[in-house]
Amino acid sequence: MRAHSPARPGAPLAKMAPTARFSALAQAQWGEGVAGRAGKVRRAGIVALPPLLLALAACSFAPPPSAPEPAAEMPADFAESVLPTGGHDAREWWDAFEDPVLGAVVDSVLVANFDLAEAVARVRQARAQAGIARAALFPSVQASASATDQDTPANAGFGQQFRELAGGEDSPLPGGFQFPDRLGVTTWSLGADFAWELDFWGRARNDSKSAAMQYLASESDYRAARIGVLAETITTYFEIVDLRRRTELAGETVAVLLERVELTETRYDRGLVTSFELYQVRQELRNTQAALPQLESQLVNAQGRLAVLLGGFRAKVEAMLPDSLAPLVPGDAVAAGAPADLLLQRPDVRATWERMEAARYAIGARRAERLPSLSFSGTIGLQSADVDGLFNVDQWFRNLVGNLTAPIFSGGRIRANIALAEESFNQAAAAYGRAVVTAVHEVEAALATLANEGRRHEFLQSQREEAAASVALQSRRYDSGVGGYTDYLDALRALLNVESTLAGSRRDLALARLAVHRALGGEWTRPEETRPPAGEPGDDDANRPGSAEPHGVSRTIPDGSGDPYAKRSGPIGSAAPGDRSESAARARSNDRMEEYR
296-342 pLDDT, tens per residue? 999 999 999 999 999 988 888 888 888 888 788 887 778 888 888 88
| Residue-level pLDDT at 486 | 83
Class of domain 69-135+203-356+414-596: mainly alpha
CA–CA dist 366, 207 (Å, integer): 9
Cα atoms in the Cβ-side hemisphere of radius 13 Å centred on 193: 6
The pLDDT tens digits of the residues spanning 182-227 come to 777 888 898 899 998 888 888 999 999 999 999 999 999 999 999 9
pLDDT at 398 over 70: yes
The residue among 107, 88, 115 whose CA lies nearest residue 521 is: 88
Q: Print burial letters for 428-459: b (CB count within 10 Å at least 16), e (below 16).
A: bbebbbebbebbbebbbebbebbbebbebbee
Cα separation, 354 vs 348, in Å, equals: 10
Burial of 276 (C-beta count, 10 Å sphere; 0-12/13-18/19+): exposed
Classify residue 383 by its DSSP letter.
E
Q: What percent of the chain has pLDDT over 90?
A: 32
Whether 127 contacts 215, CB under 8 Å? yes
From CA 225, how far away is CA 524, in angstroms rounded? 12
At 69, give phi and psi (nearest 5°): -55, -45
The DSSP code for 578 is T
pLDDT of residue 162: 66
Integer Cα distance of 499 and 586 in angstroms: 51
Specify the range with the lowest mean pLDDT, choosing from 96-110, 445-459, 583-597: 583-597
CA 488/CA 467 separation, integer angstroms: 11
Nearest one of 546, 551, 533 to 593, comparing CA atoms: 551
pLDDT, position 65: 84
Instruction: Measure the N-to-C terminal CA separation of the chain; round to a whole number of Å.
Output: 13
Q: What is the mean pLDDT of residues 113-120?
A: 89
Collapsed DSSP state (helix, strand, coil) of residue 374:
strand
Q: What is the pLDDT of residue 214?
A: 92
Burial annotation 69-79 (CB, 10 A radius, 16+ → b, else e): ebbeebeeebe
Residue 510 has pLDDT above 60, yes or no: yes
Q: What is the distance between the alpha carbons of residues 9 and 565, in angstroms, rounded to a whole number?
A: 51
Which of 247, 249, 241 has the alpha carbon at shortest distance from 329?
241
Please tell me the distance from the alpha carbon of residue 78 to that of residue 339, in angstroms, as a whole number. 6
CATH 2.20.200.10 fits 140-169+178-198+372-405, yes or no: yes
Point out the least confidently predicted range of 203-212, 227-236, 535-544. 535-544
Phi/psi of residue 402, each to 5°?
-115, 135
Q: Which of the 8 DSSP states describes residue 527?
A: P
CA distances from 435 to 73, 81, 88, 325 (A): 14, 23, 19, 37
| Residue 586 confidence (pLDDT) | 45
- The residue with greater pLDDT, 452 or 158, is 452
CA geometry: angle 514, 515, 520, nearest 5 deg:
100
The whole-angstrom separation of Cα 235 and Cα 511 is 6
User: Which residues make Cβ contacts (< 8 Å) with residue 318, sequence separation at least 6?
Assistant: 303
- Identify whether the C-beta of residue 352 lies closer than 8 Å to the C-beta of residue 521: no
| Helix H or strand E encompassing 190 | strand 182-198
Mean pLDDT of the chain: 76
In angstroms, the CA 172 to CA 165 distance is 12
Q: What is the pLDDT of residues 46-104, one digit of tens each?
A: 334 345 444 444 567 888 887 777 777 888 888 765 566 667 777 888 888 888 999 89
Are the beta carbons of 569 and 529 closer than 8 angstroms? yes
What are the residue boundaries of the structural domains of the chain, listed by start? 69-135+203-356+414-596, 140-169+178-198+372-405
State the pLDDT at residue 68: 75
Q: Strand order in 373-384's β-sheet? A: 140-153, 182-198, 373-384, 396-405
- The pLDDT assigned to 559 comes to 39
Least confident of 69-73, 223-227, 399-403, 570-574: 570-574
Sign of the dihedral defined by the CA atoms of residues 553, 554, 560, 565, in that order = negative
Give the pLDDT score at 530: 30
Residue 180 and residue 150: Cα distance in Å, rounded? Answer: 15
Tell me the CA distances in angstroms from 413 to 206, 360, 374, 418, 419, one per residue in order: 19, 19, 21, 9, 10
User: φ and ψ at 442, to 5 degrees?
Assistant: -65, -40
Q: Nearest 5 degrees, angle CA 547-CA 552-CA 558?
A: 80
pLDDT digits (tens, 9 = 90+) for 2-25: 333 333 333 433 333 433 433 443
Coil, helix or strand for 582?
Answer: helix
Residue 561, pLDDT score: 36
Read off the pLDDT of each residue in 502-512 and give the average, rounded to a whole number: 91
Per-residue pLDDT tens over the stretch 339-387: 888 888 889 999 999 999 999 999 999 999 999 999 999 999 888 888 8
Phi–psi pair at 140, nearest 5 degrees: -105, 130
The model's confidence at residue 167, banded by pLDDT at 50, 70 and 90, is low
